[in-house]
Structure 1
Amino acid sequence: MNTRQLRHFLAVMDLGSLSAAAEQVHLSLPALSRSLRALEDSLRVPLFDRQGRGLLPTPYAHAYAQRARRMVFDEKEAARELALMRAGELGPLAFGMGASLAHSLLAPMVMQLVTSAPGLRVRTLVQSSDVLFAALMHEEIDFFVGDVRMGAHDPELVAEPLYACGFHWFVRAGHPLARKRPVQAADLARFPWVLSGYADQAVLGRLAQLYGLSLPLENHFAVDTTDLETVRALMTGNDALVPGTDISRVVEMGAGKVVALGVEPPLDLALTLGIIRRAGRTLVPAADRAFAIVRRFFADAERELAQLRKR
């Protein structure tokens, strides 16, 4: 048995097709079949039942898959660790974050990283936490900044909570509702709503519950977009309302362009943001600087929001 055979086995498990797996691992069908049979001979158990042209995983295969993944992961990490030791500051760093964070954090973070380590190769992914989680588990990124609940109960992940978000309805300064206290649900209905970023279904469900809205909630929004520049233009250029996190609007609030409404009932939603990474994964030295930048960003944002609340 070797890890090459394990990769062949896992490809069949993941894709559910011998032909698709053969294409992924760049083998002919006969060669892949021989590799699987050699692995079965080594383990002395049948891993797949042959049904015509198809393969059906046996209970042995399901039981063995997790250990096989760990062995393949450990081998890759061992080679990666040695490569990073040789490269020093050189090498790749891939990470992701949500769109609401990216517009204020991503560019300065990348700038600081490449300035301090010119040989670093940075790749970024801006997506929702569920997509980032999948990318992390497929080793497409080294870490992401997002909802720490994604890694709270997974022993293969390390989640570092950094910021507990507050949620509000946001409008431009000078909006007809900006000075009204309290704002009622009926007041909100007088203006167009904009759904910003990658909406979490739990958040949408709670919005519907709070304000007695029918599902799907997306039907109540005039605009649904993941483009944060469009959201900003709609909010600051007319009377649109945007529900979201305080940290997603800290820049505009600090500049006096956007205010949070005092809505009754308030948006009592829970979301803690932080750093989520794979346990045991060796990272380039620049990853520690990336983590420090993220921690400092959240700490600065928390101080700025505290000052804004005192005004």
Structure 2
Amino acid sequence: MDSQNLTAFLAVAETGSFSLAGEKLHLTQPAISKRIALLESQLEIKLFDRVGRSVVPTEAGVLLIERARHILKDIDDTRLALTNLSGNVAGKLSIATSHHIGLHRLPPVLKTFKQHYPDVSLDIRFVDSEWAYGAVQRSEIELGIITLSPNQNKSKFVSRPVWHDPLVFAVSKDHPLASEKNLSLKDISQHPAVFPGDNTFTKRIVMDYFNAQHLEIDIAMESNYLETLKMMVSIGLAWSVLPKTMLDDSLRDITPEGISVHRTLGYLHHQSRTLSNAGIALITLLKNQCL
């Protein structure tokens, strides 16, 4: 089976469309159709059905999806292993990082990396940390530099903490809570909040504290961009929990005594994936950042 045909097959299976698969792979729709037809001819079985405007895998197509991913992964690993023998640090390195890490933690690391390894082309995707886990598992990216999950599946991933990221309860300097002393979680919960979405590790970490005291929070708005949450807090719309590094003169730290909230930021890669020389080089720089 040709790897290009398998790549086209997975693109159609994941997008549910020949045209969208073409856009994803920078090919025309006829080119995608031809590759699928060739694959079906080689396997002597139909892989897709058209249902209305959608394209869905047949039973055989469903069976092939995971096997195709494994085949392509093995090909990539073999290519990397052979390329690594040269010792050269070059080629494309795909990484995923959160907006906050990309803005506040990574710039000096990436600047040093590009100075030392100018022949590496960085493919950087700014995504939610939770999405990055799935992308690493699917081998869509080589490295995730993200908020590490408190409940990570260690059988699939290799990870290492790089930055300790303390979080604080924050309000604007003119918020009613800003002048209060000895605040409790119950006191804070009486006021509207702005938070990341339910699927984020950050929200889960914070909510554990409120759930332990059986407290509910009035969440007025959600955004996965911490800079957006900071803006909404700074103009007095609500309180939130933000990285301590984001505090400035527009905010007040109202963290209750005895409450210590933090995230662990670090890197992640698939346990069974062969790392490129570029990936190993970036990991070495990240290890130098470890606290």
Relative to the length of structure 1, the TM-score reads: 0.65
Could you say which residue in structure 1 is the equivalent of 2:101? 101
Could you say which residue in structure 2 is the equivalent of 1:131? 131
Aligned counterparts, 1:82-101, within 5 A? 82-83=82-83, 85=85, 88-101=88-101
Deviation at 1:60, TM superposition (A): 3.7
User: Would you say how many aligned residue pairs link Structure 1 and Structure 2?
Assistant: 282
CA spacing shift, 1:122–1:260, aligned 2, 3 Å: farther
Aligned partner letter, 1:170:
A
Could you say which residue in structure 2 is the equivalent of 1:113? 113
Distance 2:62 2:145 in 1: 32
Aligned partner letter, 1:115:
Q
Aligned partner letter, 1:63:
L
2:38 matched to 1:35?
Answer: yes
Deviation at 1:243, TM superposition (A): 0.8
2:244 to 246, 249, 266: 249
Distance 2:277 2:13 in 1: 34
2:255 to 250, 261, 267: 261
CA spacing shift, 1:296–1:199, aligned 2, 3 Å: farther
Aligned partner letter, 1:275:
Y
Could you say which residue in structure 1 is the equivalent of 2:283? 291
- 1:97-129 CA-to-partner distances (Å, cap 9, x unmatched) read 223333431111112212222333334333211
Could you say which residue in structure 2 is the equivalent of 1:218? 219
Could you say which residue in structure 2 is the equivalent of 1:180? 181
Could you say which residue in structure 1 is the equivalent of 2:145? 145
Distance 2:122 2:55 in 1: 40
Deviation at 1:83, TM superposition (A): 4.4
Name the SS for the 2:122 alignment partner.
strand
Aligned counterparts, 1:37-52, within 5 A? 37-41=40-44, 46-48=45-47
Deviation at 1:2, TM superposition (A): 3.3
Name the SS for the 2:73 alignment partner.
helix
Aligned partner letter, 1:35:
L
- Would you say the 8 A contact 2:87–2:277 is kept in 1? no
Deviation at 1:238, TM superposition (A): 7.0
Name the SS for the 1:297 alignment partner.
coil
Name the SS for the 2:146 alignment partner.
strand
Structure 2: give runs of 5+ residues left out of the alignment.
Answer: none
Distance 2:131 2:80 in 1: 24
Aligned counterparts, 1:149-164, within 5 A? 149=149, 152-153=152-153, 156-161=156-161
2:269 matched to 1:277?
Answer: yes
Relative to the length of structure 2, the TM-score reads: 0.69
- Would you say the 8 A contact 2:145–2:268 is kept in 1? yes
Aligned partner letter, 1:127:
V
Deviates more, 1:105-114 or 1:273-282: 273-282
RMSD: 4.5
Aligned partner letter, 1:285:
N
CA spacing shift, 1:118–1:64, aligned 2, 3 Å: closer
Distance 1:56 1:141 in 2: 25
Distance 1:157 1:168 in 2: 29
Deviation at 1:34, TM superposition (A): 3.6
Distance 1:196 1:50 in 2: 39
Aligned partner letter, 1:249:
K
Name the SS for the 1:243 alignment partner.
strand
Distance 1:110 1:29 in 2: 36
2:227 matched to 1:228?
Answer: yes
